[in-house]
Amino acid sequence: MCDPTLADCPEVAKVPDFWRRLNLSERKFLALDYDGTLAPFHPDPMQAFPLPEIPELLEKLSQRSDTTLAIISGRPLKEVLELLGDLAVVVVGSHGREVKKSDGSLTAIEPTDKQRTGLKAALHLAVQEGFEQHLEKKIGSIALHTRPLSPHRAAKLENIAFAKWSALAQHYDLECMEFNGGVEVRCTGRNKGNVLAELLDLQPSGTFSVYIGDDITDEDGFREIKGRGIGIKVGEPTTPTAAVGFLASCEEVRDFLRAWSLSDPTPVPHPG
Ligand SMILES: [Mg+2]
């Protein structure tokens, strides 16, 4: 059993009874963001690989009979699968718009005609500003990536994109959001919280559920899991967030996954 006094069982800051509760639960559900959670940031997003050992730990967790695992990312699904490998678990991309179920079947939620028109206009505006090389087009959004730029230039581009896209967004059922490393204009009506709610609904009652993420878009997930499980933010415990627990870094997430993978499956009580 994973004992919180053991050195390799990381403390979940502000949730002192985390491991005790996990160990008392017969069924467990764990949903994880990708960037900044499983993978440290990299100036080239396609070089942001998971920390060593994490793919093996996810594989191990996916094979546990007591644990259901899901990955929920803002990236296009294709990129998550390329970087993480194709696990037999639910993998969600584009903030909930693309879903690969554990059996491999795929679903995608397309933007409405109005949203499509808005995204086209947003793209046009960004290209006019000369941002083309920093843009990423996804199924329901356009992201401006500024990580490779100097802080001064990054802030300048983000401010321009945020102002231009925000003015446009309200007319086309879009919303403009900052994230760690840029700004994104995306379709409303679908976010990490919606998809997390659907996944939580599929779990048997009494399941011990956890969502871990690091960024602004994960706040939808933290709000959704309130009252149904535990939201854990990757970052300092002083960060304003709807999460209740904290792990300091991707390294701590790795240690957390290792501890979960080593925990004893809770025996199913037999009647009588
Ligand atoms: Mg993230």
Domain that holds residue 153: 113-187
Q: What is the pLDDT of residues 180-205, one digit of tens each?
A: 999 999 999 999 999 999 999 999 99
Residue 157: pLDDT band with limits 50, 70, 90: very high
Q: Measuring CA to CA, how many Å separate 184 from each of 78, 130, 142? A: 18, 16, 6
Does one domain contain both 216 and 99? yes
Gap from CA of 241 to ligand 1 centroid (Å): 14
Neighbours of 70 (CB within 10 A): 23
pTM of the model: 0.92
Torsion angles phi and psi, residue 213, rounded to 5? -155, 175
The reply to whether 173 falls in a domain is yes
Amino acid at 219: E
Q: Are 183 and 165 in contact (CB under 8 A)?
A: yes
pLDDT tens-digit map of 118-128? 999 999 999 99
Domain boundary among 167, 187, 207: 187
Token pair 């693309």: residue = 98
CA–CA separation, 112 and 105 (whole Å): 23
CA of 160 to the centre of ligand 1 (A): 23
**Does 3 have pLDDT greater than 60?**
no
Cα 35 to ligand 1 centre (Å):
4
Nearest residue to 208 via CA among 73, 74, 5, 17: 17
Within this chain, do residues 45 and 102 fall inside the same structural domain, yes or no? yes
**Residue 59 CA to ligand 1 centre (angstroms):** 20
- The domain tally of the chain equals 2
User: Do residues 92 and 117 share a domain?
Assistant: no
**Each residue's pLDDT tens digit, 211-257:** 999 999 999 999 999 999 999 999 998 889 999 999 999 999 999 99
Cβ neighbours of residue 228 closer than 8 Å, sequence gap 6 or more: 200, 209
193 CA to centre of ligand 1 in angstroms: 14
Distance 270 CA to ligand 1 centre (A): 41
Same structural domain, 227 and 183 = no
Is 269 within a domain?
A: no
Tokens of 45: 């997003």
Tell me how far the alpha carbon of residue 37 lies from the centroid of ligand 1, in angstroms.
Answer: 6
- Clarify whether residues 225 and 256 are in a common domain: yes
State whether 249 and 206 are in the same domain. yes
DSSP string, 103-166: TS-EEE-PPPHHHHHHHHHHHHHHHHTT-GGGEEE-SSEEEEE-TTS-HHHHHHHHHHHHHHHH
Per-residue model confidence as pLDDT tens digits over 23-81: 999 999 999 999 999 999 999 999 999 999 999 999 999 999 999 999 999 999 999 99
| Ligand 1 centre distance from Cα of residue 38 (Å) | 8
State the distance from the centre of ligand 1 to the C-alpha of 217, rounded, in angstroms: 8
Query: Based on the domain organization, do 92 and 214 belong to the same domain?
Result: yes
Residue 6 has pLDDT above 70, yes or no: no
Q: What distance in angstroms lies between residue 266's CA and the mean position of ligand 1's atoms?
A: 30
Tokens of 52: 């060593």
Q: In what order do the strands lie in the sheet with 230-234?
A: 106-108, 98-100, 90-93, 67-72, 28-32, 208-213, 230-234, 245-247
Q: Where residue 152 sits, what CATH number does that domain have?
A: 3.30.70
**What is the 215 CA–ligand 1 centroid distance (Å)?**
5
User: How many Å lie between the centroid of ligand 1 and the Cα of residue 130?
Assistant: 26
Give yes or no: residues 220 and 94 share one domain.
Answer: yes
Q: Is 119 within the bounds of a domain?
A: yes
Cα(166)–Cα(236) distance, integer angstroms = 29
